[in-house]
């Protein structure tokens, strides 16, 4: 079970902490994710970097993953995945490791445990 605290105002405009309980199964059901506990959450780094080279990545593979360094069709896809699945409010050009793992699994049509990654990153 995962616990999350949310702030709420009462009738006197005072902050109240409200505790919400949810787990991976609940997240899968609500978001209609079709992953399972057996799906991986970490993809081998060599597989990811090999795919990035095939996607036209132009910089050093151990540096930051910026979407501007990919070829145009993949840049467009990465842009939408980052906006849809990232918690960021700014700096949408840089992608994190878990986003690149999701993109790798999407490109290679492999299973990925997205719901578990959501709970880890939140």
Is 27:4 a contact under the CB 8 Å cutoff?
Answer: no
Please state, in angstroms and rounded to a whole number, the distance separating the CA atoms of residues 72 and 120: 31
pLDDT in tens, 93-107: 777 788 888 888 888
Q: Is the pLDDT of residue 16 over 60?
A: yes
pTM assigned to the model: 0.69
17 SS3 class: strand
* DSSP H or E stretch at residue 22: strand 15-22
* d(C-alpha 35, C-alpha 111), whole Å: 7
- pLDDT for 2 equals 55
Q: What is the pLDDT of residue 35?
A: 87
> What confidence tier does 59 reach under pLDDT thresholds 50, 70, 90?
confident
pLDDT of residue 90: 63
Residues 82 and 66: their CA atoms lie apart, in Å, by 11
Percent of the chain with pLDDT over 90: 1
Q: Is the pLDDT of residue 3 over 60?
A: no
End-to-end, the C-alpha distance of the chain in Å comes to: 14
């Amino acid at each position: 079970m995962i616990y999350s605290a949310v702030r709420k105002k009462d009738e006197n405009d005072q902050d109240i902490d409200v505790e919400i309980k949810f787990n991976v199964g609940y997240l899968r059901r609500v978001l209609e994710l079709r992953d399972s506990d057996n799906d991986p959450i970490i993809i081998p780094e060599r597989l990811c970097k090999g795919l990035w080279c095939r996607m036209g990545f132009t910089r050093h593979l151990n540096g930051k993953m910026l979407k501007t360094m990919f070829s145009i069709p993949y840049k467009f896809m990465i842009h939408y995945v980052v906006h849809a699945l990232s918690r960021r409010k700014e700096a949408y050009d840089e992608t994190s490791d878990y986003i690149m793992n999701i993109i790798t699994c999407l490109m290679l049509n492999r299973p990925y445990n997205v719901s578990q990654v959501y709970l880890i990153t939140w």
